[in-house]
Structure 1
Amino acid sequence: MTGPVHISPDQTDTLTLLGTGDSKGVPRFWCACPVCTEARGVNGQPGVNRRTRTATLLRSGGQSALLDAGPDTHAGLARLNGPLVPDAVFISHAHNDHLLGLGDLLDYVRYAAGRLRVYAPPEVVPEIAARFPYAFPEGEGGPVQPIPPQGVPVGEVVVRAFRVPHGANGHSHAYRLDRPAGAGGDGWSAAVVTDAIGIPPELAREWLRAPGGAGLDTLVLGTSFEDESGAPLTGRSVYDVREALTLPWAQAAGQVVLTHLSHGVDVRHAGHLPPGWQYARDDLTVHLPAAPYRPGPPPTHNL
Structure 2
Amino acid sequence: MKITFLGTGTSQGIPVIGCKCEVCSSVDYRDNRLRSSILVEIDGTHIVVDTGPDFRQQMLRERVDKLDAVLFTHAHKDHVAGLDDIRSFNFLQKKDMPIYATSHVLGRLKQEFSYIFEDSKYPGVPRVDTNPIENETFQINGIDIQPIEVMHYKLPVLGFRFGDFTYITDANHIAEEEKEKIKGSKILVLNALQKKSHISHFNLEEALELIEELKPEKGYLTHIGHFMGTHFAVSKELPENVEIAWDGLKLVI
Same fold (TM over 0.5): yes
Q: Which amino acid aligns with 1:176?
A: R
The offset of 1:160, in angstroms, is: 2.8
Does residue 235 of structure 2 align to residue 267 of structure 1?
Answer: no
Q: Describe the shift of the 1:36–1:144 C-alpha distance in structure 2 as closer, same or farther (beyond 3 A).
A: same
Q: How many residues align?
A: 245
Partner of 1:253: 216
Q: Which amino acid aligns with 2:172?
A: I
Counting strand residues as a fraction of each chain, which structure ranks higher? 2
Equivalent of 2:183 in 209, 220, 229: 209
Q: Provide structure 1 residue ranges, at least 5 long, that are not aligned to the other structure.
A: 1-12, 179-188, 211-215, 289-303
Partner of 2:34: 52
Q: Which amino acid aligns with 1:64?
A: H
Counting helix residues as a fraction of each chain, which structure ranks higher? 2
Determine the C-alpha separation between the residues in 2 that align with 1:76 and 1:18.
6
> Of the two, which has the highest radius of gyration?
1
Q: Which amino acid aligns with 2:183?
A: R
Partner of 1:181: none
Partner of 1:21: 9
SS at structure 2 position matched to 1:219: strand
Identity %, equivalent residues: 27
Is the Cα–Cα contact under 8 Å of residues 149 and 178 in structure 2 kept in the other structure? no
Partner of 1:153: 140
The offset of 1:113, in angstroms, is: 4.3
Is the Cα–Cα contact under 8 Å of residues 148 and 161 in structure 2 kept in the other structure? yes
Partner of 2:207: 244
Question: How do residues 33-52 of structure 1 correspond to structure 2 at under 5 angstroms?
Answer: 33-38=21-26, 41=27, 47-52=29-34
Question: How do residues 211-226 of structure 1 correspond to structure 2 at under 5 angstroms?
Answer: 216-225=185-194
TM-score for both structures, normalised by structure 2: 0.88
The offset of 1:106, in angstroms, is: 4.5
TM-score for both structures, normalised by structure 1: 0.74
Q: Describe the shift of the 1:113–1:153 C-alpha distance in structure 2 as closer, same or farther (beyond 3 A).
A: closer
Partner of 1:104: 85
Q: Describe the shift of the 1:77–1:111 C-alpha distance in structure 2 as closer, same or farther (beyond 3 A).
A: closer
Determine the C-alpha separation between the residues in 1 that align with 2:202 and 2:70.
25
Partner of 1:163: 149
Determine the C-alpha separation between the residues in 1 that align with 2:211 and 2:220.
15
The offset of 1:47, in angstroms, is: 3.0
Determine the C-alpha separation between the residues in 2 that align with 1:160 and 1:282.
24
Does residue 155 of structure 2 align to residue 173 of structure 1?
Answer: no
SS at structure 2 position matched to 1:274: coil
The offset of 1:200, in angstroms, is: 2.4
Q: Provide structure 2 residue ranges, at least 5 long, that are not aligned to the other structure.
A: 122-126
Is the Cα–Cα contact under 8 Å of residues 149 and 174 in structure 2 kept in the other structure? no
The offset of 1:26, in angstroms, is: 0.2
